[in-house]
Each structure stands twice: as C-alpha cells, then as structure tokens.
C-alpha cells in the first residue's frame, strides 16, 4: 500500500471515505514522521493527544454516515493564527507562551470541516520576512537542501508540506508569503482576493494587505481547503460580503470550446514584460518558459502585457506595510499580554525594555521605518504618496485584464538562497519580493504552481494572478497544468520512502 504520508488532501479524503484507512492511523503515522524530522525546525508545538482525539471523533462521524472531503484529514496551522488550547507566538519572543481564549475564524472553519490539527508551524516573526530566518525560535530549513531557506514568512507551512509531514497547512500572504515559500519548496499555494478569508484571529502585520490561504500539494488540494476557509465573517471589518464558494467545483468548470486535449482553449495568459528582466536567473526563466509552453499546448494563448509600475511596488510596499505594522504592534507593550521586562523603574522604562527584549531585529527595523513615515512632516511625503501609487498599481492590473484573463510569470527572481546569505543585507531580501508585491498591493488573488527546477536543482514556481474574486479561474488553469505535468508530485530525496 502507498505510504500514508504520500497522499495529498484529495487522495486522503477519498481513501478515508472508502474506509481504506482511518484518520487515527494517518494521524499516528504523521506524528511519528514529525518526531523524526525535527532538524527542519518546522514545528513550534505539536498536540499528539488533541490530534488523536480529533481523529477518533472524525472516524466516529464517518461511521455514523457523515461525509466531507476534509473530514479526518490532518493539517497544521501557521503560528500566526490564534488557537484555543495551543500556544500562539507569531514566531516572536514577545508572545512566547501566549494562550488564546478563542480560535481564529480560519482555524474554526477548518475544524468544522473535520480537519485534524497536528500543531503550530514556525514562521518569520509577526510574518515579517522572506526566508523564515527571522523567527525567535530558530530558522526553518528547506527539505530540498537543508542549507537553504524555505522562503517566508510561511516557511514552516511550506517545508512541512514539502517534507510530507502534513498534506496541507495554512499560511498568510502580506507581500508574497504564501506564493514565495510555495515556489521555493516545490508545492502549491494560493493567496485569495483580499477579504475572501477572514482575518479575525490572525495576528496583524499590515491590516490592508494580510490575507490567509492554503499551502498544499496541488491545486485540487488548495481548492478543497479554500472552500472551507472562505466566506463572510461579521467579526472582520475587512471581510468581503460574499458567501462561501465551492472552489473545487469552480476548478473543474469546463471552458467553452475546451477539449480533453486542450482544456485551456481560449484562455488568454498575459506575460508582463517587467516580470522577465535580464537579471532573472537563467534556471528560473527556463522553468517558467517551459511551463508557459505547456499552457500553449493545453490551448492557452500567450499575450504580451505591461505592468509599468512593478519596480515601484517595492518602495510602496515597504512604506505602507511598516506603517501599518508600527500601528498594529503598538499593542505589545507588556501591560496586557505577552512578554514583560523583569526589571524596570517606571512605566516608560518598562515599555522600552519590554519591546527591546521582545522584538527581533527585523520587527524593530520595520517599526522604526513605519513610525518615521507616519510622523509629522513625513506622512504626506511618504505614506500618502505610497497610497496614491498603490492605486495606480491596481489600475495597471485592470488595464492588463482587458487584454488577458490571467497573468503569469515567475514568483521570485531566483531559487531559494542559502541560510545567512541575505542576513546582513535586508534590502536584498526585500528585492526578492518584486514579482509578488504588485498583486498584494492591488488585493488580487495569486498562486504559485510547481513548474520545474532551476539552479542547484531547487524548485521553481510559476505565478498565476487573476482578477478580483477569480480564484476559480486560477485554480482551473493550475489544475489543467498539473493534470498534464508531474512537477507537483516531485518530492525531496528520501521523503517518499
């Protein structure tokens, strides 16, 4: 029989429904793998007893005749989502040991769908980073090469799925933190339109950008998870007032005129010239171009388009996001919850020492930048101008979507770099987000689909970007591509054994 960890979400759901295996069996198997892969630095906490209890409950539900694609499927959550009964740290010393009295909406909805929570996954501190080296609890390592980063900030989620420790995990994407680690780790990840998934119970970094999404093996797996995660939540003021969607059904929609050989017939795929600069790594360019050639064979038409303000997305993002972080992180002051300095003489000194001890270097850097751009005399010059450019970046996308249905290109300019390579140069790490930031600033859905391998044999992802609330179109295109290729089933050496 196929090793239990080789099944993705959809496959596992079918096996559970058929009675081939029980949720308790799968959960025990995966928990054993978790214990044998500690060197990856993926887990911040696991919950063996709780997971086995949830698995037994799922098996009992199936025995009573209940069904559901996710019933009994083990997953794990990025440690940016609060969870009742499990600690939530956001990868920071500031929240070390914090226990939430409630579950985040995303966590609660996946639990209602019957998933089994194995534990919480490592991430860059407060989701600030592109490498998962900024966690207060140590870096996460890429299963394809232990000397390299898995991407960030959802690096723990990506590495756990790539190493087959869980079939899927939750993540968050502020400037590319689902798509980039998915690309670096050779898995599939989707960031839906801003507002599709509730942010209630998701510890805030930049409130106008943060969005939850799934990381899994395939587009089919992501569609099942996103269906459970999505839907309006009255507790989140930024939640889109739209009903939950069946993204699996949308993914399987047949395009007019499509055939079995050409399921993407009539699909116009826009290629922004700015996404293919001369500095793009040769291996990344080759893999992405190869994937686009496959899209053509599947019936799609490639169209040249332009996103002229792509380069401006980096300064715009690194003004807006730190400004919002400066505001959001002001609540961590040692008074109400979280870390508090042990020695101080007055309230002001307590604030200073608490924040100096509790926050890491990258978080402090972004708080300082954000406070500066929001200060008197600089707000108009920096923050207000950045917001105007953000609107113009969104307008650029709308002009593109008059010429194409989806936009495609690389996720990042290079493959995953080695641990420590960019530690002394944060700007170099910021530049790695150039292809993911525009869609985030515009609030558009985007996903990363495994497309091959580049330098040093490391994975490369193809980025697909859709118009607002067109997640179904992205998932359909990705699914058709994955039905015709096997990049998404490749795994790091030894993982499938």
Three-state DSSP state, 272: strand
Cβ distance 186 to 161 under 8 Å?
no
Instruction: Name, in order, each residue with C-beta under 8 angstroms of 411's C-beta and a sequence gap of 6 or more.
Output: 176, 179, 180, 182, 183, 435, 436, 448, 460, 461, 462, 463
24: nearest Cα among 7, 4, 6, 45 = 4
Tokens coding 79: 């440690």
Which listed residue (153, 230, 326, 448) is catalytic? 153
First to last CA, the chain: 12
Cβ contacts of 254 within 8 Å, gap of 6 or more: 263
- Assess whether 364 carries a catalytic annotation: no
Q: Give me the helix-helix angle, 23-36 and 48-63, nearest 10°.
A: 160
Rounded Cα distance, 451 and 458, in Å: 11
Residues 370, 329, 361, 422, CA torsion sign: negative
- Return d(Cα 235, Cα 364) in angstroms, integer: 29
Strands 168-173 and 211-216: antiparallel
Q: How many residues are recorded in the chain?
A: 497
- State the Cα–Cα distance between residues 301 and 309, nearest whole angstrom: 24
**Is 358 in contact with 278 (CB distance < 8 Å)?**
no
Residue 120's CB is within 10 A of a number of other CB atoms, namely 26
130 is catalytic: no
Strands, E assignment, 97-175: 116-121, 168-173
Among 22, 78, 313, 422, the active-site one is 78
Q: Is 177 tagged catalytic?
A: yes
CB 212 within 8 A of CB 171: yes
Which of 358, 316, 74, 404 lies closest to 216, judged by CA? 74
Q: Which two tokens stand for residue 70?
A: 């996710």
Handedness of CA 282, 481, 444, 244 (dihedral sign): negative
DSSP 456-494: GG-EEEEEEE-STT-HHHHHHHHHHHHHH--GGG---TT
Q: Which of 23, 100, 177, 218 is catalytic?
A: 177
Q: Which residues contact 399 (CB under 8 A, 6 or more apart)?
A: none
Residues acting as catalytic residues: 78, 153, 177
């Amino acid at each position: 029989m196929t090793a239990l960890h080789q099944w993705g979400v959809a496959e596992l759901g079918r096996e559970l429904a058929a009675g081939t295996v029980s949720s308790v069996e799968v959960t025990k198997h995966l928990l054993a793998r978790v214990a044998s892969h500690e060197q990856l630095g993926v887990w911040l906490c696991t919950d063996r007893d709780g997971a086995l209890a949830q698995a037994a409950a799922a098996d009992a539900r199936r025995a009573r005749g209940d069904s559901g694609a996710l019933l009994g499927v083990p997953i794990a959550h990025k440690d940016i989502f609060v969870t009742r009964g499990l600690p939530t740290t956001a990868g920071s010393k500031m929240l070390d040991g914090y226990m939430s009295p409630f579950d985040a909406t995303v966590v609660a909805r996946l639990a209602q769908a019957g998933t089994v929570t194995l534990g919480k996954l490592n991430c860059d501190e407060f989701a600030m980073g592109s490498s998962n080296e900024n966690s207060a609890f140590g870096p996460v390592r890429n299963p394809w090469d232990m000397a390299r980063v898995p991407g960030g900030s959802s690096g723990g989620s990506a590495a756990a799925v790539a190493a087959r420790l869980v079939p899927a995990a939750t993540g968050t994407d502020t400037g590319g933190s689902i798509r980039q680690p998915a690309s670096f780790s050779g898995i599939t990840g989707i960031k839906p339109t801003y507002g599709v998934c509730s942010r209630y119970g998701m510890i805030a970094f930049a409130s106008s950008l943060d969005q939850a999404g799934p990381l899994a093996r395939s587009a089919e797996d992501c569609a099942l998870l996103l269906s459970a995660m999505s839907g309006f939540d009255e507790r989140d003021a930024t939640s889109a007032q739209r009903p939950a969607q069946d993204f699996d059904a949308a993914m399987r929609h047949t395009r007019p005129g499509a055939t079995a050989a050409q399921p993407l017939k009539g699909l116009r795929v826009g290629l922004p010239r700015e996404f293919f600069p001369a500095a793009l790594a040769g291996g990344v360019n080759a893999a992405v171009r190869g994937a686009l050639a496959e899209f053509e064979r599947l019936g799609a038409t490639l169209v040249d388009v332009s996103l002229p303000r792509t380069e401006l997305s980096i300064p715009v993002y690194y003004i807006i996001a730190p400004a919002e972080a400066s505001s959001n992180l002001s609540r961590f002051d040692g008074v109400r919850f979280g870390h508090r300095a042990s020695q101080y003489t007055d309230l002001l000194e307590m604030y200073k020492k608490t924040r100096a001890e509790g926050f890491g270097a990258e978080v402090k850097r972004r708080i300082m930048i954000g406070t500066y751009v929001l200060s008197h005399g600089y707000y108009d010059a920096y923050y207000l101008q950045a917001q105007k450019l953000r609107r113009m970046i969104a307008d650029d996308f709308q002009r593109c979507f008059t010429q194409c249905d989806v936009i495609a290109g690389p996720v990042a300019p290079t493959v995953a770099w080695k641990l420590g390579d960019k530690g002394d140069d944060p700007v170099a790490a910021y530049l790695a987000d150039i292809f993911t930031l525009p869609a985030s600033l515009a609030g558009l859905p985007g996903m990363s689909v495994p497309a091959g391998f580049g330098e040093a044999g490391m994975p490369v992802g193809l980025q697909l970007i859709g118009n607002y609330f067109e997640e179904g179109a992205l998932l359909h295109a990705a699914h058709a591509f994955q039905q015709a290729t096997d990049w998404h089933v490749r795994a790091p050496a030894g993982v499938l054994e």
